[in-house]
């Protein structure tokens, strides 16, 4: 406890408003040694239990203490092929660091920063692979898909990953801005899989370009569906179809994947002056912080509960505030106002908090009092749902995949199997628990283990 938690250096809060460079740098080697020395090496490490992929956290930290960073990398990659990614985007405060004993009376060990440092400064070693003679199709190249592909390839199977977009990475590429996850980091993690022999096919929409039945006919012994949840949830209020209204998914994809924030973009955005971001999760923070960087003069996040109930990471909220983003709480969207087919303001009802709902948070209740906000653009960040293309295509071929009432594929929580033989699903298309990168990776590991046992 005598050594204070080490903090990464951050880009100046004014300067970063106009660029997409990483906000945070890595710890220095000296800081890494100091931070590693804070670990108590508990007999019963709760941090490992808090990690959905059960990284051997005390062991890799001990390797850092011994100045053996390559060993630390090997330990992490026993269970996670994405240390540089997870060290940046995982909600450590609710998972590994949230379980750290040091956090009871002080600040927990900076596990995420240490993991990122190791990931950025080590490379996955070559794995000796004995061919199994089996083929597995992985649908989607996000966290769940990449993780499953790595584990399945290590087991000797021929693995082909099908990606609907023209670039790999799924939500890691189109959803998370480069100031949070640099593209060279993501590209390097994917290259590690290619070096292992995983094959990637882009611009393939399973359910349109090819079907599940055709994949089976092509000799795939098992299929893992991890196509994400890219169907945006909207507010269903008047004016939502006006020009100037975006789902966060569309807005972030156009900027992150298609370069819409550049002056010479082939698909440019119409940059207004005042944008309202609706929602309070990490996607809302990403949308708001991206809007600042592409040139909106005033960015405001509207949330129908209070700051205490915001589901976004504390770090993302802090960064948003530092970058000049305003928060207005207890505001429920009622109507988007129009002028000549474009957004010309937004009407909100003032709320107050009532009793807790199913999520455990106090339910917002309208007061009957309304306000008009002066905005010309609206970004809706209220979450996403599963795209039904694969399910409908399978049904048309006589393969009935059981889904819940919201369209998510129903799976066994332990092995991620569906009701169809040899077909598994995981990640946002078949969520079990909180939807985030590390939980998707956990789903990929469970599915890969079950598929491997099946193919044996």
Query: Phi and psi dihedrals of 200, rounded to 5?
Result: -120, 135
Helix (H) or strand (E) holding 208, with range, is: none
The pTM for the full model equals 0.93
Taking every pair of Cα atoms in the chain, the longest distance, rounded to a whole number of angstroms, is 68
Sole residue written with tokens 């709760």 = 46
Q: Which residues pair with 201 in a beta bridge?
A: 162
**Radius of gyration (C-alpha) of the chain in whole angstroms:** 23
CA torsion sign for 200, 205, 210, 214 is positive
Q: Are 63 and 450 in contact (CB under 8 A)?
A: no
Within 13 A of 275's CA, how many CA atoms are on the CB side? 33
CA separation (Å) from 33 to 109, 205, 329?
A: 12, 46, 41
CA separation (Å) from 198 to 148, 193, 216, 287?
A: 11, 6, 19, 32
Q: Which residues pair with 371 in a beta bridge?
A: 348
Angular region, 404: left φ>0, alpha ψ -120 to 50, beta rest: beta
Helix (H) or strand (E) holding 222, with range, is: strand 222-225
What was the pLDDT predicted at 373?
98
What was the pLDDT predicted at 1?
57
Sole residue written with tokens 């990640």 = 427
- Calpha distance 37→110 (Å, rounded): 11
Helix (H) or strand (E) holding 300, with range, is: strand 298-303
Cα first-last separation, the chain: 49
Helix (H) or strand (E) holding 25, with range, is: none
- Calpha distance 288→368 (Å, rounded): 28
Crossing angle between the packed helical segments 183-196 and 111-121, to the nearest 10 degrees:
60
- Calpha distance 180→293 (Å, rounded): 13
- Calpha distance 368→364 (Å, rounded): 12
CATH 1.10.1060.10 range(s) for the chain read 15-121
CATH 3.50.50.60 range(s) for the chain read 135-230+386-455, 231-384
Q: Are 415 and 388 in contact (CB under 8 A)?
A: no
Query: Phi and psi dihedrals of 144, rounded to 5?
Result: -65, -45
Out of 3.40.605.10, 3.40.47.10, 1.10.1060.10, 3.40.50.620, the CATH code matching 15-121 is 1.10.1060.10
Superfamily of domain 135-230+386-455: FAD/NAD(P)-binding domain (3.50.50.60)
What was the pLDDT predicted at 435?
81
Q: Are 161 and 145 in contact (CB under 8 A)?
A: yes
What was the pLDDT predicted at 369?
98
Q: Indicate the pairing of strand 384-385 with strand 231-232.
A: antiparallel
Confirm or reject CATH 3.50.50.60 for domain 231-384, answering yes or no: yes
pLDDT along the chain (456 residues), means of 10: 90 96 96 96 94 95 97 94 92 94 94 97 85 97 96 96 96 95 94 94 97 97 95 96 96 92 82 96 97 96 96 95 98 98 98 89 94 98 92 94 95 96 96 86 96 96
Sole residue written with tokens 């969520």 = 431
């Amino acid at each position: 406890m005598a050594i204070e938690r080490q903090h990464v250096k951050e880009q100046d809060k004014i300067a970063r408003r106009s660029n997409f460079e990483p906000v945070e740098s890595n710890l220095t080697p000296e800081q890494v040694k100091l931070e590693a020395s804070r670990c108590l090496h508990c007999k019963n490490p709760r941090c490992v239990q808090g990690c959905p992929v059960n990284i051997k956290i005390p062991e890799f930290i001990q390797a850092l203490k011994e100045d053996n960073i390559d060993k630390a990398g090997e330990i992490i990659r026993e269970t996670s092929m994405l240390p540089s990614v997870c060290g940046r985007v995982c909600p450590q405060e609710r998972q590994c660091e949230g379980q750290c004993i040091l956090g009871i009376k002080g600040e927990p060990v900076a596990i995420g920063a240490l993991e990122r440092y190791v990931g950025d400064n080590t490379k996955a070693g070559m794995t000796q692979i004995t061919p199994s003679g089996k083929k597995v199709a992985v649908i989607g190249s996000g966290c769940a898909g990449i993780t499953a592909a790595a584990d399945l390839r290590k087991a000797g199977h021929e693995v082909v990953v099908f990606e609907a977009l023209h670039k790999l990475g799924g939500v890691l590429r189109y959803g998370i801005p480069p100031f949070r996850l640099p593209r060279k980091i993501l590209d390097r993690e994917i290259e590690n899989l290619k070096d292992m022999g995983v094959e990637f096919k882009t611009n393939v929409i399973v359910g349109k370009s090819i079907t599940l039945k055709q994949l089976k006919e092509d000799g795939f012994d098992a299929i893992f569906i991890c196509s994400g949840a890219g169907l945006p949830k909207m507010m269903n209020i008047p004016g939502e179809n006006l020009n100037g209204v975006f789902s966060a998914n569309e807005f972030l994809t156009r900027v992150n994947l298609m370069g819409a924030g550049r002056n010479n973009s082939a698909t440019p955005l119409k940059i207004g002056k005042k944008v309202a971001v609706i929602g309070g999760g990490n996607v809302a923070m990403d949308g708001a912080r991206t809007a600042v960087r592409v040139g909106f003069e005033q960015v405001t996040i509207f949330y129908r509960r209070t700051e205490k109930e915001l589901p976004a990471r504390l770090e993302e909220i802090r960064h948003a505030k530092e970058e000049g983003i305003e928060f207005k709480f207890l505001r429920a969207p009622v109507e988007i106002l129009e002028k000549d087919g474009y957004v010309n303001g937004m009407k909100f009802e003032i709320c107050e908090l009532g009793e807790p709902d199913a999520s455990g948070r106090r339910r917002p209740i309208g007061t009957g009092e309304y306000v008009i906000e002066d905005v010309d653009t609206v970004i809706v960040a209220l979450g996403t749902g599963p795209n039904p293309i694969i399910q409908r295509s399978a049904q048309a071929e006589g393969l009935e995949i059981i889904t819940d009432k919201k369209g998510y594929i129903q799976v066994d929580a332990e092995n991620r199997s569906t009701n169809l033989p040899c077909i598994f699903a995981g990640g946002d298309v078949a969520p079990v628990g909180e939807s985030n990168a590390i939980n998707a990776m956990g789903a990929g590991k469970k599915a890969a283990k079950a598929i491997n046992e099946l193919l044996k």
